[in-house]
A = this chain, B = another copy of it.
Amino acid sequence: FRILVTPGDGIGPEVMEEALKVLGRVQQRFGHEFVYDEETIGGAAIDRYGVALRPETIAKAKASDAVLFGAVGGPKWDDPRASVRPEDAILGMRKQLGLFANLRPVRVAPELIGESTLKPEVLQGVDMVVIRELTGGLYFGKPKRRWENAEGRQAVDTLRYSEREVARVCHVAFQLARQRRKKVTSVDKANVLRTGQLWREVATEVGKQYPDVELEHILVDACAMYLVRRPASFDVIVTENMFGDILTDEAAMLAGSMGMMPSASLGRRRKDGTGIGLYEPIHGSAPDIAGQGKANPLAMILSAAMMLRLSLGLDREAKAVEDAVDAVIREGLRTPDIAGPGAKVVDTRTMGSAVA
């Protein structure tokens, strides 16, 4: 298996090291060979090459089975008007690798239920996957530009979707729901947006091909409410790019810390269900705690587990990693972000080693 490793900025390299430690143990224990290639991306690549993502990196990604992505960004490269930005790395990977479906599972470990700002009884039974469309909508639509006229500065972004883009990500949602509690919640703003109408229409059509799966439609504003009000009622949520960005970060708060939240970004699948993917913790580069051993490596480690399952087809191995994460949590090991009063606080490396 060929894996492209892109640690990136901030805490990216630290958490990546722990994920690789765990994968090393998987190789040993299950007798696999992972061949790694490493590339500089994000702010670090801007400093070194003048761009956040080089064509060489994309070429290597395409020749790999999967990309393990740390995090990008930091105050040094934070000028919103700069022409090169660390975010180009993640946006470029998504677009150029055709990774149109972003899966973000939200589960709350019973031992961590107290870390959330929500009441424990509301979190009982929360187990959802949010599927976010990742290569369309406002992120990439054209025109996307700024200009000036007699009335001053102007700016425009374009929210565009085609039937094909909506259908393929909905199929991912329904297929996943079949392996779960058989319920899909499609989120749109059909009462205001033309793209929302198209989204609802196509989601309904795709749903007809999965008569065993229940489909409900809700408006994005209602969804933002229900995620806080009755999160356990969701199984699979599917939505467009920008809504997914907002709703997944909100949903992450159910688990108390983003330090536990993995993600997978998938493109077209092969017959056996596997295919290239990019695996990334959703926490970002957290420059304020970088280099201090405080970062929680579990989101990166759980992202690696998703890679084992979804790109390498190694289900048993993925399960072993997930079980190991559950076990260290059960044993009471905590990085600062998930440490309640009186907890056994450990550093990034100790946490990684414990899982390994």
Contact = CB atoms under 8 A, between A and B. Distances in A.
Interface of A: 73, 80-81, 85, 87, 91, 117-119, 122, 138-139, 141, 144-146, 151-164, 189-198, 200-202, 220-222, 224-225, 227-230, 242-243, 245-250, 252-253, 258
A151 B162 CA distance: 8
A163 B156 contact: no
Contacts of A221: 245-246, 248-249
Q: Which 3 A-B pairs have the closest CB atoms?
A: A152-B163, A155-B198, A224-B250
Contacts of A73: 191
A9 to B, nearest CB: 14
Given A81-B197, A117-B119, A152-B163, A220 B192 contact: no
Contacts of A247: 224
Given A146-B197, A224-B249, 4 more contacts: A144-B193, A156-B159, A224-B250, A246-B246
A261 B221 CA distance: 15
Residue with the greatest number of chain B CB neighbours at <10 A, chosen from A73, A221, A229:
A221
B117 A229 contact: yes
Contact of A144 (B157, B194, B230, B248): B194
Contacts of A253: 225, 228-229
Nearest to A141: B156
29 contacts: A80-B190, A80-B197, A80-B201, A81-B197, A117-B118, A117-B229, A119-B119, A138-B159, A138-B192, A144-B193, A144-B194, A146-B197, A151-B162, A152-B163, A153-B198, A155-B193, A155-B197, A156-B158, A156-B194, A157-B160, A189-B245, A220-B245, A224-B246, A224-B249, A225-B249, A225-B253, A228-B250, A229-B253, A246-B246
Given A80-B200, A221-B245, A253-B225, A156 B160 contact: yes
A129 B127 CA distance: 32
Contacts of A243: 246
A31 to B, nearest CB: 41
Contacts of A198: 146, 153-155
B87 A155 contact: no
A191 B250 CA distance: 18
Contact of A117 (B145, B189, B228, B248): B228
A93 B292 CA distance: 54
Residue with the greatest number of chain B CB neighbours at <10 A, chosen from A153, A196, A230, A246:
A246
Nearest to A188: B80
B157 A162 contact: no
